[in-house]
Amino acid sequence: MNAVTVPAAEPSVAAGMPTRRVLGAYLAEARSECLRYMRAPGFMLPIMLFPGMFYLLFGVVMGKSEGVDAARYLLASYGVFGVMSPGLFGFGVSLAIEREGGLLTLKRALPMPPGAYLLGKMLMAMAAAAVVVLLLLAMATGLAHVVLTPRQAALLLLTGVLGVLPFCALGMFVGTLFKGQGAPGMLQLIYLPMSFLSGLWFPLSMMPGVLQQIAPVWPSYHLDCLALAAVGMGQGAAWPHVLVLAGFAVAFLLLAARRLRRHG
């Protein structure tokens, strides 16, 4: 039996919708994506438990012997480690599964704005990143006795919420390259080595010189620099790191969009 190809919705369908209905479509898609993942324990629990468990073991326990500065440093580093996950896996794995199952083709045929699908996933990843940062902030201030000003806490939260976007773009690109079963393994091969090589688990000063030199290649390194600056431990200007992360996000977003146009 020949496969039936569902034609993509004409751009004029969404363009001809009233502004109120267009905004309603964006909000409905964003709400459905957020609710779908917030109600999925298999997605939310690992995202919250892994950085929380690591911070409890190293940030809280080691902070008692190494001092509050160690707990403050690990708050920023494990915060970055935590916000990478919803961007990579929430975007990449779900996109690969939905492409393979035909759901993405169905959504394209619906009379909805083409950007609503991506915006919904992006807001979901940002909401999950906010939950991770708030959890670590609660542990740092309540258990590790890290003293942060309201401005520092707000800056760290903002860094995590916006910092997830480059990893959304990377996850989206990987989701266009692999099928549903292959995407999780490939993303793990990206997520864990990138975290280690960026100095999120150990300070870069404890690593060999070669690894210290290549650390700026990874976006997680630049996000970690911004997170450390947010909690008062950063050095140097922040704008170069912001530019690198923005360029990384735009580059992979364009690559993913090109793949989707060519291969669906």
Q: Is residue 188 part of a domain?
A: yes
pLDDT of residue 15: 52
Q: Is residue 59 part of a domain?
A: yes
Report residue 7's pLDDT band, with 50, 70 and 90 as the boundaries: very low
Q: Is the pLDDT of residue 250 over 90?
A: yes
Q: Is residue 2 part of a domain?
A: no
Q: Give the lowest-confidence range in 46-50, 148-152, 227-231.
A: 46-50
State CA 165 to chain mean position distance.
6
Q: Is residue 58 part of a domain?
A: yes
Residues 80-84, mean pLDDT to the nearest whole number: 94
pLDDT of residue 93: 85
117/169: higher pLDDT: 169
Give this prediction's pTM. 0.85
Q: Is residue 50 part of a domain?
A: yes
Q: Is residue 3 part of a domain?
A: no
Number of domains comprising the chain: 1
Q: Is residue 5 part of a domain?
A: no
pLDDT of residue 108: 66
Query: How many other C-beta atoms are found inside a 10 Å radius of the C-beta of residue 182?
Result: 14
pLDDT tens profile 150-166: 999 999 999 999 999 99
Question: Which residues constitute the domain of residue 86?
Answer: 11-263
SS3 250: helix
